[in-house]
Amino acid sequence: MKVIRTQRLRLVPVTTQNAAVLWRLLQAPDLRMFQDLPNLSAGAFRAMVGTRPKRLRPGAVGRFEWLVYLHRMRRPAGWVSLRLSERDDAGEIGYTIVRELRNRGFATEAVRALLEEAFLRGKVNRVSAYCVPGNRPSRNVLDRLGFREGALVHNGASVAGEAVDVLHHVISRRDWTQSAKAIEIPASA
Ligand SMILES: CC(C)(COP(=O)(O)OP(=O)(O)OC[C@H]1O[C@@H](n2cnc3c(N)ncnc32)[C@H](O)[C@@H]1OP(=O)(O)O)[C@@H](O)C(=O)NCCC(=O)NCCS
């Protein structure tokens, strides 16, 4: 896994060396409102990270995660994840930005870079995301990046230990290529 750089962000792979940084971030109670996060001790979390695949390449299976940093900031702004499944070259993403840094486009910028990594390095054919219908900010991120909203999956995830319905969103390689082209800045700009 590589460090991914964007205009404003640095996405640093989560390894056993920095797993504690992500673990500390995961303890903020407000981040559990819309998503199911691991409830593990710091040591168990680090051990789990150690079992993950190390190289993002075509055919890799498992979970890849990056801490998101703003350039020149030591404190992480959030994290993004990509889970590659054994079946049909597909990936699933997750993303979180800490409360005080939301509404500045950082999630969209980080997920855009993550999609590039999934399609170009992981060679997946499509990427999915699931979110509860009430999570409007998350749906906006997906909408901005060209995801299509799909079916409502009954009891498709659990949040705080409770089964919840989630909306499936998906972007195919073809849709991604087109939306990536659509946001390209013309050379004359
Ligand atoms: C989901 C989540 C990551 C979205 O964060 P966010 O701050 O709303 O998303 P972005 O960082 O992309 O910011 C987008 C907003 O910043 C605004 N913005 C301000 N300055 C901007 C800039 N320079 N560039 C781009 N957008 C900018 C955009 O207009 C947009 O607002 P809008 O959606 O009202 O149009 C965040 O709410 C979160 O972490 N929630 C908790 C975890 C969670 O729910 N994760 C998803 C599980 S499915």
Residues in contact with 16: Cβ distance below 8 Å, sequence separation at least 6, in sequence order: 46, 49, 50
Q: Domain spanning 4-182 has what CATH number?
A: 3.40.630.30
Hey, is 82 helix, strand or coil? strand
Atom 43, ligand 1: which residue's CA is nearest? 96
* pLDDT at residue 186 in the model: 47
124-128, 179-183, 184-188: range with lowest mean pLDDT = 184-188
* pLDDT at residue 184 in the model: 59
Whole-number CA gyration radius for the chain: 16
* Whole-prediction pTM: 0.92
Instruction: Give distance in angstroms: CA of 88 to centre of ligand 1.
Output: 30
In the chain, where the domains are located: 4-182
Mutate-to-test residue for ligand 1 from 97, 98, 144, highest number of ligand atoms within 8 A of CB: 97
The CA distances from residue 139 to 29, 52, 83, 106, 114, in Å, are 21, 28, 19, 15, 16
